[in-house]
């Protein structure tokens, strides 16, 4: 396989007039939020995948893109996506230990069988010492519970969740984990 490169990007500047508070932004539809750029980026990737059906197109994004709006748009689309999780989302399945609550994706995936390990050398970075890291890999197909929205009713979305968790973290160091 050959990486063909980037197919789109968007440059933006946040409006600093202070009129829109965080709580007000949370109530807006995705099309009126600055985070809609992630959905637009995925739509570009999916458009490329439709034009070139024999090409594997993957939209890669960091934690800022951990948005249900993207997951619901990507469900059943042509291109693939890989998003680093920011939040421990609820699953559609009730928590057997607390019937008033739902299972959480991190908790569920952490109980799955180990699928293998990944090892790499991590260079020194802010707050972390240079070291060799070995992570266990666990995965599961999960169904995410949609968020409650005043302006729309969303459907559950099935995703593949892959967890990487550091083994034998040195004392005093923060583990290198991710979903």
pLDDT along the chain (179 residues), means of 10: 74 66 72 83 87 87 85 78 90 88 94 97 90 96 89 87 95 91
What SS3 state is found at 146? coil
Which residue, 136, 132, 134, is CA-closest to 121? 132
β partners of residue 160: 141
Predicted pLDDT of residue 42: 85
Which residue, 163, 152, 168, 143, is CA-closest to 32? 152
Which residue, 93, 100, 92, 97, is CA-closest to 68? 92
Predicted pLDDT of residue 79: 79
DSSP 13-56: ----S--S-HHHHHHS-GGGSTTHHHHHHHHHHHHHHHH-TTS-
């Amino acid at each position: 396989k050959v990486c063909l490169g980037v197919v789109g990007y968007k440059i933006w500047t946040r409006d600093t007039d202070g009129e829109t508070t965080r709580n007000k932004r949370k109530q807006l539809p995705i099309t009126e939020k600055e985070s809609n750029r992630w959905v637009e980026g995925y739509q570009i990737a999916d458009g490329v995948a439709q034009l070139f059906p024999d090409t594997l197109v993957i939209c890669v994004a960091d934690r800022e893109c951990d948005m249900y709006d993207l997951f619901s748009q990507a469900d059943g689309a042509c291109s693939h996506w890989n998003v680093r999780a920011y939040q421990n989302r609820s699953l559609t399945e009730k928590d057997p230990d607390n019937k008033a609550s739902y299972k959480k994706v991190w908790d569920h995936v952490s109980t799955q069988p180990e699928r293998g390990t990944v090892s790499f050398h991590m260079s020194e970075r802010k707050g972390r010492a240079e070291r060799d890291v070995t992570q266990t890999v666990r995965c599961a197909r999960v169904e995410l519970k949609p968020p409650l929205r005043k302006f729309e009713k969303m459907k559950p979305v099935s995703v593949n969740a892959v967890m990487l968790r550091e083994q034998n973290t040195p004392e005093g160091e923060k583990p290198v984990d991710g979903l």
